[in-house]
Structure 1
Amino acid sequence: MLGFRATPSSRLIPPLGAALLIATGSVLADETCQSPYMAKITGVEDFVYVWTLGVEGLGDSSDKLVTVDVREGSPTFGKPIHSASVGGRHEAHHGGFTDDRRRFWAAGLSDSTIFIFDVAIDPARPRLVKVIDDFVEKSGGAAGPHGAYALPGRMLIPSLSNRDGTGRAALVEYTNEGDHIATHWLPTDAMPNGARIEAKADGYGYDARVLPRRNVMLTSSFTGLENYMRPLGDLMKDGEAMQRFGQTMVLWDFHARQPRTVMSVPGVPLEIRWAWNPQHNYAFTSTALTSKLWLVHEDESGAWRAKDVADIGDPAKMPVPVDISLSADDRTLFVDTFMDGTTRVFDVTDPHKPKPIYEKKIGAQLNMVSQTWDGKRIYFTTSLLANWDKTGAENEQFLKAYTWDGKELAPRFTIDFTAERLGRPHMMAFGAASLDPN
């Protein structure tokens, strides 16, 4: 028992209890993209935390963690009620809770700074309690921490780059208290680290997700700091730089932290989403430059394979698939495309043959999508990277909430982050008003 007050709207259950509820079909409200090692919210989420990029001259100009009240009937429903600034702009990107959900880790890509917030004492008002500013030094040269993924008693931090600004990346482990434990470099052609290489091993990193019951971890690939901090228009005109993007996914022996196979997945595979059903041994990703859905699956012989299974859009029109969200029942997949601001929904009941069933333009640009375990509420944000967001009237910066009945998205509320002088909203996480598991 964590010892915090109880509330009627939501509560926490520990990871093993969460797994039991998932297996027995009970409804959870938490996000479907979470680590299986993390305590889950039951009931309905009370808050949405938004890790937000600061904009010079807008509010305090700093990156911040914004709390949005999503409690139905609250006088501040659908409004930002608190922001915890970190001082300065660090290219706020991704983050995640510790396994006990007491702290939220948020990463900055530009200077490799990690910010740790306490979300247990007062969940409505997260408080910055620690800053890790020696990530590059302690990791042995990794740079660009890309969020945080909960493991038992520790956090896994995928990096996007290294101290030279080039693509080779690493997985970096910390204790929940913020002490460095280990660094595991992604395999390259020159240093495969024992991995079997299908075509090439480029060493790029992005996401990392674990399927504990099969003792496997997947990592995906993006590009180095020298590319992702560049203005997108300039980057796309540089043919040589455009060759320096990830074309691989790595399958790891999770317990040994040993890369087993470097799979060929052309087109920059980004977010990874494992299926939740205990009989489903597969994960989805999308490729940003080739606009395809890919399936990584275990075949009947026990071998893991990757194959493209659906087109998301015309790659010549550069829709740029970014975030994806798989429903808790493994039946539907939301896919956001940045350039056309559209979310697309696929029926993935047969994961080898996804079928498009719905699409909706959410805004001029679109990035992250988070859906609840019960599948009834969907949240969207807009910012991709500060130098990659659109300009002028199309530089929309919002959090939008919808209900989803399986057929149609219906608006709940919209927050204009520019009008609120908050910045560029990026990654979302759901919060509970109580951390008492009872």
Structure 2
Amino acid sequence: MTTTEHAHDRDDRSDPTLYRTPADAVAAPPEKLAYVVGFDPTAQRADALFTVGTDPESPAYGRVTSHADLPDLGNELHHFGWNACSSALAHAGHQHAARRFLMVPGLRSSRLHIFDTSPDPVRPRLVKVVEPEELAAKAGYSRPHTLHCGPDGVFLSCLGGADGMDGPGGIALLDHESFEVLRAWESDRGPQRLAYDVWWHLRQNIAVTSEWGSPSMIEDGLVPELLLGRRYGHSLHFWELDSGRHLQRVDLGDENQMVLELRPAHDPEATWGFANTVVNVEDLSASVWLWNREGEDFVVHKVITIPARPAQAEDLPPALQPFGAAPPLITDIDLSVDDQWLYVSAWGTGELYQYDVSDPFHPRQTASVRLGGIVDRQPHPAEPDVPLTGGAQMVEISRDGRRVYLTNSLYGAWDAQFYPAGVDPWMVKLDADTSHGGLSVDSRFFPHGSDFLGLRVHQTRLQGGDASSDSYCYRR
């Protein structure tokens, strides 16, 4: 076979859901399935991967159509992702990669469960378990939190050091297809010790990481002494992507505790992105920050502040009663594939905000919806007499930006502190106006409670990719 024939064969076999440009992703057919992880905070029942119908023309719309139980207990499924995505097109060697396997880490167990969505995407099958001993021995890490599929492998951000020790946390590099743990990604970590998210600017060979806390700082809940002592993460780190060499640390101020989600621009030529902080210890506000490259260095600016909401002490959980307010607690953000719309979830007040960020330095709020919340517990329109527990938390956006999916649990031990009456699982879909801004709740889409077997639901992934699972190699 000639070289030309080899190249043609690769193109024929390439996954059509690997998109060269953001515009290609936006124009692709809409998702028909969503995958959602659920966990039992008591560790008495198996966690599960759920499949939910998202095709409005199907009788399965808004329904849980299947679930796959894990074979072991105590995992606490949290974030998860695909083995391959559009970044694979950065190198010709991965042109035949397929967005086929869902890699599902257990945040408490340090196990990594691999599900195959082929041949039946409605019923993923568990095909492999990567044990914590392999993660510890080959990369020196534990407590896997977030994963992203990169051009050379899967980047798995971990909060703990080997065997659950407090660190430093960092990134394990895994093979796309065998799922073998290859090594720790960092070659020179500089001052970085705490970990949370990782993302990148592929064309500029830059990686970005954020900070939450080590295992002892998070696993039993928010520790007031550490929070008031300003000891949770409050910095962004910038790295050389191909070598894992630390380049720059930017401190957002130690009053801004817990720098979590990273959402870089999808435009491969851009060098800006958004990050959020959970709480300001001086006034309980939360904030969103913009990073941008100026010359060789990165600078970071606060661009959104959401204040705490005053409340009566009797309406607040014990942890918040001394403060007389419900903090917004920004726990997730998501940026649409066209880089125009930013969504910010305030888990404490139950609010989801929509911002026009066509000028990323000056976001403009265009809409908001409230679901659940510590105070008032706003119901879903499908059941207007039933107050929701938990609050708007994990956000996922469809590739075309028209659909926004929400779930309501943060982390078992933290749920108990801020929602002590319990968190009954729910998943919500919002319709977004992508012309002028606007949000409305879809009353037809509301899997909740027993639909998820009572397991708490966290992150959502969409069939064919979504706004927070891909980075693109080409502008047009």
TM band (smaller chain): 0.7 to 0.9
More helix by share: 2
Deviation at 1:367, TM superposition (A): 1.3
Q: Residues of 2 paired with 1:331 and 1:386: CA distance?
A: 33
Residue 229 of structure 1 and its aligned partner are, at CA, apart by: 1.1
Alpha-carbon distance between aligned partners in 1 of 2:420 and 2:243, rounded to the nearest angstrom: 49
Give the corresponding residue for 1:172: 172
Which amino acid in structure 2 is aligned with residue 166 of structure 1?
Answer: D
Partner of 2:334: 325
Cα 1:223/1:351, change in 2 over 3 Å: same
SS in 2 for 1:77: coil
Instruction: Look up the SS of the partner of 1:90 in the other structure.
Output: coil
Aligned length: 394
* Amino acid in the other structure paired with 1:93: H
The answer to whether the 8 Å contact 2:340/2:358 transfers is yes
Shift of residue 126 of structure 1? 0.5
Tell me, yes or no, if the aligned pair for 2:66 and 2:122 is still in contact at 8 Å: yes
- C-alpha separation in 2, matches of 1:359 and 1:317: 17
Q: Kindly provide the amino acid, as one letter, of the partner of residue 126 in structure 2.
A: L
Q: Which amino acid aligns with 1:67?
A: T
- The residue aligned with 2:16 is 13
> Which aligned pairs between 1:21-60 and structure 2 lie closer than 5 A?
22=22, 25-26=23-24, 28=26, 42-56=28-42
Q: 1:104 to 1:240 in 2, by over 3 A?
A: closer
Per the TM alignment, residue 120 of structure 1 is displaced from its structure 2 partner at its CA by 2.0
Q: Deviations over 1:37-64 (max 9, x none)?
A: xxxxx2010110001112559xx82111
2:264 aligned to 267, 274, 286, which one?
274
Matches within 5 A, 1:261-340: 261-266=248-253, 267=256, 268-290=258-280, 291-299=286-294, 301-314=295-308, 317-340=326-349
Whether 2:68 is the aligned partner of 1:68: answer no
Deviation readout 1:4-28 (Å, 9 max, x if unpaired): 99xxxxx95253xx124x2xx3453
> 8 Å contact 1:337–1:367 — kept in the other structure?
yes
- Which of the two has greater strand per residue? 1
Residue 395 of structure 2 is aligned to residue 369 of structure 1: yes
Q: Secondary structure at the match of 1:105?
A: strand
Answer yes or no: is the 8 Å Cα contact 1:101–1:120 preserved in 2: no
Match of 1:398 in 2: 426
Compared CA separation, residues 221 and 274, structure 1 to 2 (3 A): same
Is the CA contact 1:399–1:417 (under 8 Å) kept in the aligned structure 2?
no
Which residue among 206, 219, 233 is the counterpart of 2:196? 206
- 1:244 aligned to which of 231, 236, 244: 231
| Compared CA separation, residues 2 and 383, structure 1 to 2 (3 A) | farther
**Alpha-carbon separation, structure 1, partners of 2:189 and 2:414:** 36
CA distance in structure 2 between the aligned counterparts of 1:167 and 1:153, rounded to whole angstroms: 25
Answering whether residue 358 of structure 2 is matched by residue 349 of structure 1, we say yes
Aligned residue number for residue 383 of structure 1:
409
Partners of 1:114 and 1:286 lie apart in 2 by 27
Mapped to 2, the partners of 1:332 and 1:68 lie a distance apart of: 25
Whether the 8 Å contact between 2:77 and 2:104 is mirrored in structure 1 is yes
| Rounded Cα–Cα distance in structure 1 between residues aligned with 2:134 and 2:327 | 34
Match of 1:81 in 2: 65
Provide TM-score, normalisation by structure 2: 0.77
Instruction: Specify the code of the residue in structure 1 equivalent to 2:62.
Output: G
Does 349-358 or 126-135 show the bigger shift?
349-358
SS in structure 2 at match of 1:227: helix
**1:382, 1:426 within 8 Å by CA — same for their partners in 2?**
yes
Question: Structure 2 CA distance, aligned partners of 1:184 and 1:150?
Answer: 13
Which is worse superposed, 417-426 or 319-328? 417-426
- The one-character-per-residue Cα deviations of 1:109-166 (angstroms, maximum 9, x if unpaired) are 1121111111122111001111111244224431110132112352110111223532
Matched residues in 2 for 1:105 and 1:277: separation? 26
Deviation at 1:243, TM superposition (A): 3.5
Farther off after superposition, 264-273 or 122-131: 264-273
Following superposition, the deviation at residue 194 of structure 1 comes to 7.1
Cα shift at 1:106:
0.6
**Aligned counterparts of 2:371 and 2:401: Cα–Cα separation in 1:** 18
Q: Hey, what does 1:224 align to over in structure 2?
A: 214
Residue 157 in 1 paired to residue 156 in 2? yes
In structure 2, the gaps of 5 or more residues are 1-8, 85-97, 281-285, 310-324, 374-390, 466-476
SS in 2 for 1:28: helix
Identity %: 24
SS class of match (1:205): coil
1:346 shift after superposition: 1.6
- Gap change, CA 1:420 and 1:144, over 3 Å in 2: closer
TM value normalised by structure 1: 0.83
Distance 1:164 1:49, change over 3 A: closer
The whole-number CA distance in structure 2 between the counterparts of 1:432 and 1:164 is: 34
Contact between 1:55 and 1:62, CA under 8 Å: does it hold in 2? no
SS in 1 for 2:236: strand
